[in-house]
Amino acid sequence: MAEAEFWAGEMGKEWARRADALDRQLAAAGAAGLTALAARPGECILDLGCGSGATTIELCQAVGPDGAVTGVDISSDQVAAAQTRPGNERAEFVVGNAETWPFEAATYDALFSRFGCMFFGDPPAAYVNIRRALKPDARVVLVVWRALKLNPWADVPARVGAEVLGPTEPPVLGAPGPFAWADPVIFQPILEGAGFTGLEWAEQPITMQIGEAGQEGPIARAVAMLMRVGPLARRLKGLPTEERTTIAARLAPKLEPFVEDGWVRLPGTIWVVRARA
């Protein structure tokens, strides 16, 4: 299944249903990117892959009543969730693929994305189209994952899945997906080829709070989340209950060292990528 179809369909629904938990999970990554962008009052900003709108809320607050924020996402379910969230009343939302969306030229003072920029089927074409929407010298901040092995929140469940189901095929370098931009050798030529300048990137460690709030213990909540969202979740689609139960039983003890203050808190590592249009 193509990434666009995947996110427009069932995965978008999963993320919309669990928006609050996923916002907590990704809060540190979003904060790092928003700090780097430093949105200003009165600016017009494009929130690429806005999901359920948590970063859009922050951007709306930063630009104030004289500014404007457009959130674009391929998932109609996530956009529907974003539109109903307090703080997004002034935002405009687009359900569509930014790779081909007919943005008005030279509209935005800045481009921001928290993990919404690595899924395009034709990244060079996508970023030519997106850059066209930006004003000359517009600021760009993109938050992307570093390699899987540097992100235990994904690597730990992926390894458990491999123990039970066997190894997966190695991903094609740069193929669309959450870790597509793990190496600057991938994203640097894409962005520079589209005309972006002043490209730089900085590594940042983060900690992610895993799971939805509830009466169950922290490990049970985290196992449930990791089996519904993330790399392991993709492998579990259509599996019989017996295999899913086996994976859950093997994953639970792997998470015990990460319990803190009633939550499983797993480490991750991101790139904060900056550029100019």
Segment 15-64, tens digit of pLDDT: 888 999 999 999 999 999 999 999 999 999 999 999 999 999 999 999 99
**pLDDT score recorded for residue 173:** 78
> DSSP per residue over 83-133, as a string?
HTSTT-TT-EEEES-TTT--PPTT-EEEEEEES-SS--SSHHHHHHHHHHT
- Which residue stretches of the chain are H helix? 3-8, 10-17, 19-25, 27-37, 54-63, 76-83, 123-132, 152-165, 184-193, 218-226, 231-236, 241-255
Q: Could you tell me what percent of the chain has a pLDDT over 90? A: 81
- Give the angle 151-274-68 at the CA atoms, nearest 5°: 105
Examine the pLDDT at 185 and tell me if it is beyond 90. yes
Q: Minimum mean pLDDT among 1-5, 92-96, 125-129, 213-217: which range? A: 1-5
Q: Flag whether pLDDT at 192 surpasses 60.
A: yes
* Residue 49, helix vs strand vs coil: coil
Supply the pLDDT for residue 50: 97
- Residue 212 pLDDT class (50, 70, 90 cuts): very high
CA distances from 71 to 112, 262, 264 (A): 10, 33, 30
Residue-level pLDDT at 170: 78
Residue 1 has pLDDT above 70, yes or no: no
What pLDDT shows up at residue 230?
85
Nearest alpha-carbon partner for 222 in 255, 261, 257, 260: 255
> In the CATH scheme, what is the code of domain 3-276?
3.40.50.150
CB atoms within 10 A of CB 234: 16
Domain residue extents for the chain:
3-276
Q: Residue 156 CB: number of other CB atoms within 10 A?
A: 18
Structure tokens at 264: 């499983």
Which pLDDT does position 6 carry in this prediction?
74
C-alpha Rg value of the chain to the nearest Å: 18
Mean pLDDT of the chain: 94
Locate 53 and state its tokens: 């709108």
Give the residue, 234 or 220, on which the prediction is more confident. 220
For 73-89, what is each residue's pLDDT tens digit? Answer: 999 999 999 999 999 99
pLDDT in the model for residue 96: 94
Q: Residue 136: pLDDT above 70?
A: yes
